[in-house]
Amino acid sequence: MKKPVAKEQFELGVCYYPEHWPESLWADDYRRMVEMGFTIIRMGEFAWSIFEPEEGNFQFGLFDRAIDLAHSYGLKVVLGTPTATPPAWLTEKYPEVLNVTYEGVTLQHGMRRHYNYSSPKYHELCAAIAGQLADHYGSHLGVVGWQIDNELNCEISEFYSESDHNAFRKWLQHKYKSLDKLNEAWGAVFWNQSYSDWSQVYLPRPTPSPKQPNPHQALDEKRFISDNTIAFAKIQADILRAKAPQQWVTTNGLFGHLDSHELNDQLLDFFSYDSYPQFSSIYYDAAEVNPLRDRGWGLSLSAVRSISPNFCIMEQQSGPGGWVNRMDMPSPKPGQMRLWTYQSIAHGADMVLYFRWRTATMGNEIYWHGINDYHNQPNRRVREAAQIGQELAASGPAIVGTVTQAKVAIVRDYDNEWDGEYDVWHGPFMWQSNKEWFKALQHRHIPNDVLYLRSKTTLEELARYEVLIYPHPAILADETAALLDAYVQQGGKLIFGCRTGYKDKRGQCYMRPFPGAAQSLCGITVEEFTMVKGTRLPTFISWADKPELLTGADSFNEILQVIEDSVEVMGSYASDYYAGKPAVTRNQRGKGEVWYYGAVFNEDAAVQIINYLGLQSPAAEWLELPADVELQIRESDSASYTFLLNYSEEPATILLKEEKRDLLTDQLISGTHTLEGFGVLVLY
């Protein structure tokens, strides 16, 4: 049975690195943490050479003192296995553990994550350090849980060492059994790529065109990397379960080429995420219309919630971020750290640890600022964190265990994400449509989940939602289409976008009319299609009930042809040679309906469909909000909490038609209320 994220209290804490600081600072640091309302700290995830300064020589003195002292102050400790940074003695003695690039360059010691997941020797050494740590701390009253490794697949999520090629070959043999089946799955007859011996099969390698492997091989590569990563983590999880059964197990991050749902299902008590909303200030599209910026981080938090309904934020941004040469993020403005903390909580976090307690004075992260600055004197961030600590000490117990509520889900799946990394004919479209739908729902205060379709997904899971938005599932198996059809038949509303249903699980195109496996669901076929780029000018859609209203039909256009009497044309193209042809359709099917939108979604198009569907905020009857304020709801059988988060620096005016109480201040609120810039309310 999985252990909960938190029990009686909300866990608020911070990442702490005792090996970085004089021991004389520890007691004062712990004292101030407790005074700020912190209850938990993380440590150890980069300290392999402290625990094992030479092979087989295990030393625990420094961390014994650090953990014992933390425990004496009432602080709980999360201990990381230090396998994200193998020490210099290890990589020198066993160079086969190092990772290798696609081009064949061995990545050397000097940063982190410089190892591969396939090396038998690395498996052995990781098992040894994890076992020693579990033996030593598995019954320590101050250690409550474990973080496996750190940010699996961060920095790099591709692996090409000799061990990886060997492991990939074994993975393929297990999956396909014979070379004939492999050749068929990879379409190897094309360009004479057929294999006659398993020794000829490798992970993708350099080809005459820059990084252009067989696309079906590339899809299997991503599946292999995910399985291999989980197998690597399992070595440590099994040891921790056996030797530290009273302590929980998690790992952190949400990175590429990893089925985090399967990782969580197999190995973890709950999932943990590292939340840095200020990345939106440096990784942004200047041409984006109506951007969400830091508010858009909620889409990633929704994805985390699909893995683990209640989760941990193992690293919450607390200051400006940056390594010495990149990721140079601005400093959060007053109130933003608090806003981002409650953003995480509103989306399902029951535990939040800030990164980090004090800014490092050395190394690559000397500009990745923590709560405290180098000088260790009181500052604005310390005061803001203390305010949050006081609030959560009082209100946190009520929130813990409640679950975020939504009747709408944006649907994803790993195969399409991984296939779409290489395939520009559908991959980029999914990310745009996800973002634009999230934007439209957010601005109308309609909470949404992210739902990953998996082989184990049931109709019961789908039926929780009134609306499913599955923008561009190019890969769509017949059994998945049948599951979606069952959802629609019992009353669900399903929305597809262009490039739906034309590939099978191998990533090969069906020899069927588009949209392939979804054709009977949609009641239409695709007469013709085109990319919209370069000299092909953008096009527009005219909507059935408002022909004067034109919305852009972005990036790709499918000219639709109705083939079932149950289909209604909801929008037509208004420009180019296909003006007047169907662009948007709705098919009444059973008790539900299926929409097909023949382009890539933008917010305006999503709004039109939202209006047709009659979707409203769950708080519409008692609350009026401006667009800049986010609404999320967390509920249990006995309580409901409405989170309101103002992402604007300016005050926002809200109108409550019923009297509510703010959980954070215990104040009654009704009528017109001014929510301060970056302000937060939790109403019940």
Write out the two tokens for 637.
């059988």
Q: Any idea which residues carry the catalytic annotation? A: 151, 315
Alpha helices in 260-347 (DSSP H): 260-267, 297-307, 336-346
CA distances from 182 to 6, 169, 173 (A): 46, 11, 9
**250 and 150 Cβ atoms separated by less than 8 Å:** no
DSSP 592-603: EEEEEESSB--H
Q: Which two tokens stand for residue 382?
A: 């310390």
Question: How far apart, in whole angstroms, are the C-alpha atoms of residue 508 and residue 415?
Answer: 12
**DSSP-based three-state secondary structure for 170:** helix
Q: Which two tokens stand for residue 185?
A: 């799955």
| 219/214 Cα distance (integer angstroms) | 9
80 vs 83: CA distance, rounded Å: 9
Question: What span, in angstroms and rounded, lies between the C-alpha atoms of 280 and 435?
Answer: 13
Task: Give the amino acid at 88.
Answer: A
Beta strands 546-553; 539-543: pairing state: antiparallel
Nearest to 553 by CA among 431, 424, 429: 429
The C-alpha atoms of residue 306 and residue 205 are separated, in whole angstroms, by 34
Integer Cα distance of 11 and 77 in angstroms:
11
- Residue 192, SS3? helix
Query: CA dihedral defined by 222, 228, 233, 239, rounded to 10 degrees?
Result: 160
Which burial class, exposed, middle or buried, applies to 125 when counting CB atoms under 10 A from its CB (0-12, 13-18, 19+)? buried
Closest CA to 300 of 242, 241, 255, 365: 255
Distance set, CA 349 to CA 3, 10, 287, 382, 464 (Å): 15, 9, 32, 21, 21
Q: Could you give the CA distance from residue 78 to residue 38 in angstroms, rounded to a whole number?
A: 13
> How far apart (Å, rounded) are the C-alpha atoms in residues 470 and 452?
10
Q: How many CB atoms lie within 10 A of CB 279?
A: 18
Q: Count CB neighbours of 112 within 10 A.
A: 16
C-alpha span between 309 and 290 (Å, rounded): 29
Backbone angles phi, psi at 315, to 5 degrees: -140, 110
Helix (H, G, I), strand (E, B) or coil at 551: strand
Rounded distance, CA 21 to CA 459, Å? Answer: 53
